[in-house]
Structure 1
């Protein structure tokens, strides 16, 4: 029961964060949104989001799993934070945004591999990210 409560609490925090991010985006307050993403990312993983840039794609999951000892719910939070950071990156098809989309994709594919249930929303997000990466690299 405690595990379920922890998961629900994390999902509620993530939902509140997303609502706040959308409000900041609507108000054109991108720097504040990026700071909020970075702070939450650091609280969840113990590192700043830009530190993912230094990791090779193949090292990302191993680092987060073995070095940071993240739980599956924390992977979900990080995936959403990486996605939001990519969405806020300027210009939209910068190396930074593409790298963040790739890291998001890697994390989402890891979640798919470890979870026992199929998630349509996650699969839609994966397809969306692949499209965004392809649109930026074409």
Structure 2
């Protein structure tokens, strides 16, 4: 992966991070009070997955990965950045490992594992949807 591609992928991931934070606020302060926790978690997970795929789709012409492997590298790079951010932020907040790892289950409607999978495959899937692969 070139430095230019890596920097562009990082910029796009920051956009995804901002959308994920906005999605979290929407879930906590709007959806949960109105829909309850399980429905809010499902809706929020599906919405964030769609946003990530949409950002990947819209950003591909700017990102311009040169080969199929680069689509996978970008996606798994986004996944790695997300995991590092999540665990670092959780540890900074003083959360225990069991509490943080609970988010990686499907308990109570949680779709976080699906969001992570979509994050990893989004660039490749977006290229398929564009007919580039």
Band the TM-score falls in, shorter-chain normalisation? 0.3 to 0.5
- With the length of structure 1 as denominator, give the TM-score of the two structures: 0.37
Q: TM-score, normalised by structure 2?
A: 0.38
Structure number with greater CO (CA < 8 Å, separation at least 6) is 2
**Bigger Rg, which one:** 2
